[in-house]
Amino acid sequence: MPAETTALEAEIAKFDALAERWWDPDGPMAPLHRMNPLRCGWIAQRLAASEGRQGEDLSGLTLLDVGCGAGLASEGMARLGARVTGLDAAGTALEAARAHATRSGLEIDYRQGRPEELAAEGARFDAVIALEVIEHVADRGAFLAALASVTKPGGCVFLSTLNRTPKSFLFAKVGAEYLLRLLPRGTHDWKMFVTPAELGAEARKAGLRVTDIAGMTPKLGTKDWQASSDVSVNYIAAARKE
């Protein structure tokens, strides 16, 4: 599978340019900082349960964070005990990730590249996560196939993304980028947002069966996010490799 099938160079450059401010909780990645505890907790609970464990115990499990950027989710999962490999095509963002992990005393294996390249090396992981990534790739089907290829049989794949609805256009595109300026303009292309039905169908073609899905919504009056039944804007999904 050629590398170009799962990455858009313009998207890589866009997020590489944000590397220096990635860890600023009030900077351009502020929405991800606020969302990250929910994402990591939701994933950890389901991954631990799939291994017959209680709570969020990920001790010793191997996890690949695809499109890890500067490492927000990678660090969150490492703090829960997972042996994390962070993968991204953006080299400057990875430099920021390595520096922050060192300052935080965390051992995370950050690598520059794409999942299909790891698959060609024979790498396999207990779980693979790709958070706010699939809406930026060139070919969703090829991307999902690449995620499946680096997942052990029976392993878990977790994705979070944005639904393609009028509400998401209003809130995640116009509101977040142009009115409230929570994100840099041009962060998202609404036409590339993914409906849950599309994600489920494309995952099945890649040998992945969606087992759980939840909306991610802000808690009123706080900066925190919560899981909900409302998938009209942000949502997160769990899938198992068949």
Matching residue, tokens 């464990």: 53
**Is 67 assigned a ligand-binding role in the annotation?**
yes
**Is 81 assigned a ligand-binding role in the annotation?**
no
Q: Report d(CA 95, CA 81) in Å as an integer.
A: 23
**Is 39 assigned a ligand-binding role in the annotation?**
yes
Give binding residues for S-adenosyl-L-methionine as ranges: 39, 67, 88, 131
Binding-site positions read: 39, 67, 88, 131
